[in-house]
Structure 1
Amino acid sequence: MSGPALRDVTLRDGLQLTGKPLPTATKVALVRTLLAAGIPELEIGSMARGDLVPPMADSLDVVAALTPDELDRCWIWVATPRHVEKAVAAGAKNVQYCFSVSDAHNKANIGRLTEDSLAAMPAAIEIAKAAGGRIQLTLATAFTCPFDGPVDPDRVRAIVDDPRTEGSDDVVLADTLGQAYPAEVEELFAAVAPLAGDRRLIFHGHDTWGTGVANSLAAHRGGAVMVDGALGGLGGCPFAPGASGNTATEDLLFATRPDYLTPAVFGTLVKAGEDLLAELGEQSRSKAAQGARSKAEAFGWVVAS
Structure 2
Amino acid sequence: MSFQFQPSTLVRDVTLRDGLQLTKVAPSTEAKIDLIRQLIRLGVPELEIGSLARPDLVPTLADSLDVVRGLTEDELDRSWLWVATPRHVEKAIDAGAKNFQYCLSASDSHNKANIGRPTEDSIAAMPAAIEKVKSVGGRIQLTLATSFTCPFEGYVSEDRIIEIANDPRTDGADDIVICDTLGQAVPTQVSRLIARVVGETPARRVVYHGHDTWGLGVANTLAAISAGAAMVDGSLGGLGGCPFAPGASGNTSTEDILFATRPEWLTPESLGEIVRTTEKLLSDLGEPNRTKTAQGARSTANAFEWVIADSAS
Give the TM-score range, shorter chain.
Answer: over 0.9
TM-score, structure 1 normalization: 0.99
Q: Return the offset for 1:49.
A: 1.0
Note the 1:47-58 alignment, pairs <5 A. 47-58=52-63
Structure 1 CA distance for aligned equivalents of residues 174 and 54 of structure 2? 25
Letter of the structure 2 residue corresponding to residue 263 of structure 1: P
Q: Return the offset for 1:5.
A: 1.4
Q: Tell me what 1:252 maps to.
A: 257
Q: Tell me what 2:194 maps to.
A: 189
Q: Tell me what 1:126 maps to.
A: 131
How many residues end up aligned between the 2 structures? 305
Structure 2 CA distance for aligned equivalents of residues 200 and 242 of structure 1? 29
Structure 2 CA distance for aligned equivalents of residues 171 and 237 of structure 1? 19
Q: 1:233 aligns with which of 238, 241, 262?
A: 238
Q: 2:278 aligns with which of 273, 276, 279?
A: 273
1:183-212 deviation line (CA, Å, top 9, x unaligned): 010000111112333310000000000000
Q: 1:151 aligns with which of 143, 152, 156?
A: 156
Structure 2 CA distance for aligned equivalents of residues 22 and 50 of structure 1? 15
Letter of the structure 1 residue corresponding to residue 217 of structure 2: G
Identity %: 66
Q: Is the 8 A contact 2:81 2:100 kept in 1?
A: yes
1:279-299 deviation line (CA, Å, top 9, x unaligned): 000010000011111111121
Structure 2 CA distance for aligned equivalents of residues 162 and 174 of structure 1? 18
Note the 1:71-90 alignment, pairs <5 A. 71-90=76-95
Letter of the structure 2 residue corresponding to residue 84 of structure 1: V
1:3-37 deviation line (CA, Å, top 9, x unaligned): 52100000000010000121001100000011111
Q: 2:21 aligns with which of 7, 16, 19?
A: 16
Letter of the structure 2 residue corresponding to residue 287 of structure 1: K
Letter of the structure 2 residue corresponding to residue 19 of structure 1: K
Q: 1:2 aligns with which of 3, 6, 9?
A: 6
Q: Is the 8 A contact 2:6 2:262 kept in 1?
A: no
Letter of the structure 2 residue corresponding to residue 270 of structure 1: V
Q: Tell me what 2:113 maps to.
A: 108
Letter of the structure 2 residue corresponding to residue 127 of structure 1: K
Structure 2 CA distance for aligned equivalents of residues 32 and 22 of structure 1? 14
C-alpha RMSD over aligned residues: 0.9
Letter of the structure 1 residue corresponding to residue 263 of structure 2: P
> CA distance change for structure 1 residues 196 and 36 in 2, over 3 Å: closer, same or farther?
farther
Q: Tell me what 2:100 maps to.
A: 95
Q: Return the offset for 1:171.
A: 0.3
Q: Is the 8 A contact 2:166 2:202 kept in 1?
A: no
Q: Is the 8 A contact 2:162 2:201 kept in 1?
A: no
Q: Tell me what 1:59 maps to.
A: 64
Structure 2 CA distance for aligned equivalents of residues 196 and 65 of structure 1? 37
Q: 1:289 aligns with which of 289, 294, 297?
A: 294
TM-score, structure 2 normalization: 0.96
Which stretches in structure 2 are left out of the alignment for 5+ residues? none
List, as ranges, runs of 4+ consecutive aligned residues in structure 1 with deviation greater than 4 Å: none
**SS of the residue 2:299 aligns to:** coil
Q: Is the 8 A contact 1:171 1:196 kept in 2?
A: no
Structure 2 CA distance for aligned equivalents of residues 276 and 125 of structure 1? 35
1:233-273 deviation line (CA, Å, top 9, x unaligned): 00000000000000000000000001111010001100110
| 1:25 equivalenced with 2:26 (yes/no) | no
Structure 1 CA distance for aligned equivalents of residues 205 and 38 of structure 2? 26
Q: Return the offset for 1:220.
A: 1.1
Q: Return the offset for 1:103.
A: 0.3
Q: Is the 8 A contact 2:198 2:228 kept in 1?
A: yes
Q: 2:167 aligns with which of 162, 166, 189?
A: 162
**SS of the residue 2:160 aligns to:** helix
Letter of the structure 2 residue corresponding to residue 223 of structure 1: G
